[in-house]
Amino acid sequence: MSDFVVGLAFFLVIEGLLYAVAPSFVKRLAQLLPHMPEGQLRLSGLAAMALGVAMVWLIRG
C-alpha cells in the first residue's frame, strides 16, 4: 500500500510541476482534448499506462 501512496505522490509532484512550469501548454492541451477522437485518447492512455507498468516492472524487477 505504501508503494501506491508513493506513486500517487509522484503523480501529484509531476502534475504540479507541469502546471507551475508550463501553464500555457496545459491550457492549450485542455482546449485540444475535446476535439481529439476518443479512440486516439484511449490509445494514448493505454500506451502511457503500459509504459508506466513496464517502467515499474523494470525498476522493481
Identity of the residue numbered 23: P
Which element (helix H / strand E) includes 37?
none
Alpha carbon distance, N-terminus to C-terminus of the chain: 18
Q: Can you give the pLDDT at residue 19?
A: 95
pLDDT band at residue 12 under the 50/70/90 scheme? very high
Which residues lie closer than 8 Å to 15 by C-beta, 6 or more apart? none
- The three cell numbers locating residue 30: 485542455
Extended strands (E) in 1-61 = none
Q: Can you give the pLDDT at residue 61?
A: 81
Interval 19-54: pLDDT, tens: 999 999 999 999 999 999 999 999 999 999 999 999
Whether the pLDDT of residue 5 is over 90: the answer is yes
Whether the pLDDT of residue 3 is over 90: the answer is no
Identity of the residue numbered 26: V
Identity of the residue numbered 50: A
